[in-house]
Amino acid sequence: MKKVHVGSGPHNLMEGWINVDIRPFKGLDRVLDVTREWPFAEVDYVYGEHFIEHLPLEGAIAFLANAGASLKRGGVLRLTTPNLAEETSIPPNMMDLFTDQFLKYVKSGH
């Protein structure tokens, strides 16, 4: 199973994932500008946390195109942003529980 974690930074490296960031950090699997062509194909999961909001609009569009092109049929792109509570019907007091449960699920290898 191929899983790519974009914008991982130095403190959120995920075991069993290909951790990428535009800056080199200890433990990072690959330095990569995700707004440019990706070296990955047939990816099962692409995950980014508090990442896409740091890209300019053109960069975000390029990232989404690259992520989509790298996913295999049925692959999953999962992004989180700091304003998720404002954009969904999930009550703000439940957002931390939702996020924690999702991260436990993802980190468990699913």
| Residue 76 · residue 46 · CB < 8 Å | yes
Full domain range(s) for residue 15? 3-107
Q: Which helix (H) or strand (E) holds 21?
A: strand 18-21
Give how many domains the chain has, as a whole number. 1
Bridge pairing between strands 71-80 and 43-49:
parallel
Residue 31 has phi, psi (to 5 degrees) of -85, 125
Predicted structure pTM score:
0.74
List pLDDT tens digits, range 25-51. Answer: 999 999 999 999 999 999 999 999 988
**Residues constituting the chain:** 110
Rounded to 5 degrees, φ, ψ at 19 are: -85, 120
pLDDT 10s digits, 46-101: 999 988 888 888 888 899 999 999 999 999 999 988 765 555 555 666 556 656 66
What does the buried/exposed string (b/e) look like for 50-83 if buried means 16 or more CB atoms within 10 Å of the residue's CB? ebbeebeeeebebbbebbeebbeeebebebbeee
